[in-house]
Amino acid sequence: MSDSTTYDSSRAAPLDQPPRALGQSLLRGMRLRCPNCGIGRLFSKFLKVQDSCSHCGEELHHHRADDAPPYVTIFIVGHIVVALVLAVEVAFQPSYLIHALLWLPLSLLLSLFFLPVSKGAIVGWQWALYMHGFGGEEDGMDPAPVGD
């Protein structure tokens, strides 16, 4: 597999591009802001990423968050809710109805909170590492060859 773009693994950026601050762009994405300027809104709707930043003009339509935000959200919410369920069960031993009344709404609310946060972080991560067209070039979507 050959790639026409040369990368320096210590910089996590193409050699012809300046490195971008990964931590800063992750935090900006988690705050639902443009990973470039940190001012413009990242989303135009609940999970719809804007085509470009309204403040700095950075193109954001290249992102490919795909299934990663739901996986991250399930991972986070699952750890929070399971720990709380076990703690409440050991301490109070409530009925199953009480468990359902507590944990179903909490799971839903936490999921609705963490889903855009995780998607914003993933878009910021992709932007910082010049992934999927964020470096100015189009992302090649040629399928991998089957077999040898």
Report the distance separating Cα 73 and Cα 34, nearest Å: 20
Query: What local confidence, expressed as pLDDT, does residue 1 receive?
Result: 43
Q: Looking at per-residue confidence, does 117 or 139 come out higher?
A: 117
pLDDT digits (tens, 9 = 90+) for 30-55: 999 999 999 999 999 999 999 999 99
Query: What local confidence, expressed as pLDDT, does residue 8 receive?
Result: 47
Q: Looking at per-residue confidence, does 111 or 139 come out higher?
A: 111
Query: What local confidence, expressed as pLDDT, does residue 16 receive?
Result: 77
Q: Looking at per-residue confidence, does 74 or 136 come out higher?
A: 74
| 124 close to 68: Cβ distance less than 8 angstroms | no
pLDDT digits (tens, 9 = 90+) for 66-77: 999 999 999 999
pLDDT band at 17 (very low <50, low <70, confident <90, very high): confident
